Amino acid sequence: MTAMTIPKPDLSWYALDVQSKCEGRVSAALRGKGYEEFPALYLGQRKWADRVKESEFPMFPGYVFCRLNPSERLLPVLTTPGVRKIVGAGSVPIAIADEEIAAIQAVIRSGLPSRSAPFVNVGSRILIEGGPLKGIEGIVISPDKIRGDKMYRLAISVELLHRSVVVEIEREWARPILNQIAAGNPMPHPGARGLVSFSEPRPTGSGVATIRREIQ
């Protein structure tokens, strides 16, 4: 029997530090315990000498997102095989804004080409006003147009993890946000919609996406 996950208003998203290449297994184990989890996995191509095979890859290697209440008993989470700790300041877990997770999930659903990238917090900020990522803000890291003057590369980040995702969007979807230049310091609060983060295409149940890496 499959455990049912019922969202609760007192739960927030947290990042779990997990062992390498255990993201999928940790996510499945947490789901079996009744937790709402999000591994941000996608299907990509792994090339071998004689064939090309589809495999699952994590957009945030070494992390799984999970909704929980840190004031409640955390032993079921911390004793899950593969889980090292809940990310935070020392022994105090730090929540990730719902907007950041929603942005990740939006990119996963969108099917837009995207990839993991080093943390980006410097550049011109834009608001996406069209397409599947409408309403999300990010930082332009490629001011030069690509693909026939029609595309931009946009960075969206999870501040707590200091990791970013670069996504290709249509130039016509973007509008500059005047007087808002990300300059490294001071940083917006992690809950701000400006520095959000995401991954990519169609979720298949537990957040697994079907996509191809197209950005080099």
Matching residue, tokens 């969007």: 169
Q: Which of 120, 114, 159, 116 is nearest to 140 (CA)?
A: 120
Residues 76 and 155 in one domain: no
The residue from 58, 93, 128 where one domain ends is: 93
**CA 187 to each of CA 8, 37, 157: distance values in angstroms, whole numbers, following the listed order:** 30, 27, 12
Residues 102 and 198 in one domain: yes
Residues 155 and 75 in one domain: no
pLDDT at 76 over 90: yes
Residue 38 · residue 104 · CB < 8 Å = yes
Residue 47: pLDDT band (50, 70, 90) is confident
Amino acid making up residue 184: G
Residues 76 and 124 in one domain: no
> Tell me, what's the pLDDT at 98?
93
β-strand 92-93 against 209-210: which pairing, if any?
unpaired
Residues 20 and 82 in one domain: yes
Residue 210 lies in a domain: no
pLDDT at 205 over 50: no
Q: Which of 121, 122, 133 is nearest to 172 (CA)?
A: 133
Residue 203: pLDDT band (50, 70, 90) is very low
Per the structure, how many domains does the chain have?
Answer: 2
Residue 5 lies in a domain: no
What is the domain-level CATH number for residue 72?
3.30.70.940
If you average pLDDT over residues 29-36, what whole number do you get?
97
Residue 85 lies in a domain: yes
Count of beta carbons in the 10 Å neighbourhood of residue 8: 10
> Tell me, what's the pLDDT at 143?
56
pLDDT, one tens digit per residue, over 81-101 is 999 999 999 889 999 999 999
Residues 38 and 119 in one domain: no
Q: Which two three-digit tokens encode residue 79?
A: 């004793």
Task: Give Rg (Cα) of the chain.
Answer: 17
Residue 2 lies in a domain: no
Residue 183: pLDDT band (50, 70, 90) is low
pLDDT at 213 over 70: no
The residue from 93, 119, 154 where one domain ends is: 93
| Single pTM value for the model | 0.73
Residue 176 lies in a domain: yes
Instruction: Tell me which DSSP letter residue 203 carries.
Output: B
Residues 102 and 199 in one domain: yes
Residues 138 and 164 in one domain: yes
Residues 85 and 110 in one domain: no
Residue 36 · residue 9 · CB < 8 Å = no
Residues 85 and 122 in one domain: no
Range of the domain at 198: 98-203
Q: How many CA atoms lie within 13 A of 36 on its CB side?
A: 15
The residue from 41, 62, 93 where one domain ends is: 93
If you average pLDDT over residues 147-171, what whole number do you get?
86
DSSP labels, 122-189 = EEEEEEE-SSTTTT-EEEEEEEEEETTTTEEEEEEEETTTTEEEEEEEEGGGEEEEEEEEEESSSPPP
What is the domain-level CATH number for residue 139?
2.30.30
Residue 208 lies in a domain: no
Residues 80 and 112 in one domain: no
pLDDT, one tens digit per residue, over 97-129 is 999 999 988 988 898 888 888 898 888 889 999
Residue 124 lies in a domain: yes
Q: Which two three-digit tokens encode residue 163?
A: 């990791």
* Average pLDDT along the chain: 79
Instruction: Tell me which DSSP letter residue 96 carries.
Output: B
Residue 215: pLDDT band (50, 70, 90) is very low
Which of the two residues, 142 and 97, has the higher pLDDT score?
Answer: 97
Instruction: Tell me which DSSP letter residue 4 carries.
Output: P
pLDDT at 57 over 70: yes
Q: Which of 101, 110, 156 is nearest to 131 (CA)?
A: 110
Interatomic CA distance for residues 184 and 19, integer angstroms = 30
Residue 215 lies in a domain: no
> Tell me, what's the pLDDT at 201?
34
